[in-house]
Amino acid sequence: MPTITTNELKNGMTLELDQDLVQVVEFQHVKPGKGHAFVRTTLRNVRTGAVVDRTFRAGEKVERAMIDKRSMQFLYRDGTEYVFMDDETYDQMRVVPATLGTAVDYVVEQSTALIQFFGDEVVGVELPASVELSIVETEPGVQGDRVSGARKPATLETGLIVQVPLFIENGERVKVDTRSGEYLSRA
C-alpha cells in the first residue's frame, strides 16, 4: 500500500486504518497559536457505514487503500442479490444490497454504475449525478389545483418515493438526483 502524509488528504480518499477501510468525508488543517499543527478528520467506515472523528498530527503517515473502479451493468435481481456484469470481461458477479447502500433506489436493469473494489471485495458503488426512472404510482392532479410549488408523492419503478409537481402522471419518466433523492425534471 502506498503511504501518504495527512497533509495530502482529500475528501473522498480511501485509507486503510486499523485493519479497516475508511473514506475521508471531511478534513481540516488546524494550526493553533501554541503547539504543533494537526489535521482533524471525519472518516466513514466503508464496510459498516459508521462515522468517526479522528485527529492526526500534521505530517503523520497513513496507508492509502487502492480502490479499483470498474464499469459494470446491472442485469437483474436474483432473490436478494443484485447481478452485475463487467463491461470489459463480461464476468458476472452478485452483490448484496448492504454493499450498494442507497444505490439500490436508483439502479434499474441495463443501467451502468462504477463498482468500487478493494482487492476482490466490493466496497461501494458510484452512480451518475442523475438517473431517469419511470413513475409507477402517483395520485392524479386535480383540475384547478395548481398552487405554485405544490408537490405530491410518487413511487418510482425501484420503489423509491419522491415528491414531484402536481402535473406529473403515472408512466412518465422523470430525472432524479442520486445524491439527494430529489426530483429534477421530466425526462
* Mean pLDDT, rounded, of the chain: 87
CA dihedral (168, 171, 175, 177) positive or negative:
positive
Tell me: pLDDT of 53 over 90. Answer: yes
Polymer length in residues for the chain? 187
More confident residue, 23 or 147: 23
Predicted pLDDT at 148: 67
Domain ranges of the chain: 3-64, 68-126, 130-186
CATH architecture, range 68-126: Beta Barrel (2.40)
Predicted pLDDT at 79: 86
> What CATH number has the domain spanning 3-64?
2.30.30.30
Strand spans (E) along 31-181: 38-45, 51-57, 61-64, 68-78, 81-86, 92-95, 112-118, 121-126, 130-138, 151-156, 161-165, 173-177
Alpha-carbon dihedral angle through residues 106, 128, 122, 45, given to the nearest 10 degrees: -90
Q: CATH class for domain 130-186?
A: mainly beta
Min mean pLDDT across 16-25, 53-62, 84-93, 142-151 is at: 142-151
Alpha-carbon dihedral angle through residues 148, 151, 157, 158, given to the nearest 10 degrees: 130
Predicted pLDDT at 156: 92
Q: What is the mean pLDDT of residues 142-155?
A: 74
**Is 0.75 surpassed by the pTM of this model?**
no
Topology alike, domains 3-64 and 130-186: no
Q: What is the mean pLDDT of residues 31-42?
A: 90
